[in-house]
Amino acid sequence: MRVDRAALYDLFAEYGALIDAAQYDKWLGLFAAECRYQIIPRENYERGLPAALVFCDSRAMLEDRIRALREANKYNIHTDRHVIGLPRIVNDALAVEAPFAVFQTDQEGETRLFATGLYRDRLEASGNSLKFCDKLILLDTFAVPSLLATPL
């Protein structure tokens, strides 16, 4: 099956925009009913040590996680900004990758680079749109996991 490029680009644009706008419920809607969401330090992944920083293997688990993050975020008030590079179709049409940088701004209005990494995802077609059924976030920046207060 060939992916529709417009739908592919829109999915990634929506993904970043909805986190940055703190619209987490809409953001959850980008995931398939059966889905997996993981954040793994790139280094661990490449060494075959897939100890995840975040591991959710169902949508219910992901919803719980988001609720917890929202609570934690009260003590780490910041806004996010995702800049996501062009998605790349890997093997077949529904395995895709995209690089990202996330910037955070604190309450004093200072912006810092927070993390970079690679989304390595599997998609599924859902009507005219696409949804994430397996989202693997390979995190370059493994020095900051304790500060994860919003989804990447």
Q: Nearest Cα to 65, choosing from 75, 73, 76, 54?
A: 54
Could you give the CA distance from residue 36 to residue 65 in angstroms, rounded to a whole number? 12
Burial (CB count <10 Å: 0-12, 13-18, 19+), residue 93: middle
Exactly one of 49, 50, 83, 126 binds a second copy (CB under 8 A); which one? Answer: 83
Q: Which is nearer to a second copy, 74 or 108 (CB)?
A: 108
Show contacts with a second copy in window 105-144 (CB under 8 A): 105, 108-113, 115-118, 140-144
Binding mask 9-48 for a second copy (x = CB under 8 A): xx-xxx-xx--x--------------------xxx-----
CB atoms inside a 10 Å sphere around CB 114: 20
User: Cα torsion for 7, 37, 96, 85, to the nearest 10°?
Assistant: 80
Q: Candidates 55-63, 64-72, 101-109, 127-135: pick the segment binding a second copy (CB under 8 A).
A: 101-109
Q: Which residue's structure tokens are 């975040």?
A: 54
Exactly one of 65, 99, 122, 148 binds a second copy (CB under 8 A); which one? Answer: 99
Binding site for a second copy (CB under 8 A): 5-6, 9-10, 12-14, 16-17, 20, 41-43, 79, 81-89, 97-101, 103, 105, 108-113, 115-118, 140-144
